Amino acid sequence: METMELEAQVYSALSGDSSLVALLPDGADSIHHLQAPGGSIDRYPIIVYSPISDVPALVGDDIELTHRITIRLHVITKDGQYGAIYRHIHRIMEGLGFSRVQAMPYVEDGQRILIADYRIGVSAQWQQ
């Protein structure tokens, strides 16, 4: 499976979960790929997801058999109330087969952000 296919699955699962989307002010339009929209954001919270690594996990006979992909999710808020959103994200990502690697709070420019990394191992047959 290619990383792009996995990213599409993540977006589909996040945007298709009615419980999660109900917590976002603009519904599925509050979920962004790679980066938050430019300029000032009027409505929080938003979610930004992006791949941060794609590395070989198993190699045999000089052929990559599996690879590990890590997806990073940012839950960006003004008030730090990201707990409920994070619980839904965690449930969704585990349902896709990901394992949580780490989660950490972060503050920047008045935004309170939760950063969470999830990893999955997938077949590398697409490369052969």
Q: What is the mean pLDDT of residues 30-36?
A: 95
Q: What are the tens digits of pLDDT across the range 54-110? A: 998 888 888 888 899 999 999 999 999 999 999 999 999 999 999 999 999 999 999
Span of 15-19, 42-46, 56-60 with lowest mean pLDDT = 56-60
pLDDT surpasses 70 at 13 = yes
Contact 118, 10 (CB under 8 A): no
Residue type (1 letter), 105: P
Task: Name the band, by pLDDT with cuts 50, 70 and 90, for residue 127.
Answer: low
SS3 sequence of the chain: CCHHHHHHHHHHHHHCCHHHHCCCCCHHHHEEECCCCCCCCCCCCEEEEEEEEEEEEEEECCEEEEEEEEEEEEEEECCCCCHHHHHHHHHHHHHCCCEEEEEEEEEECCEEEEEEEEEEEEECHHHC
Task: Name the band, by pLDDT with cuts 50, 70 and 90, for residue 2.
Answer: confident
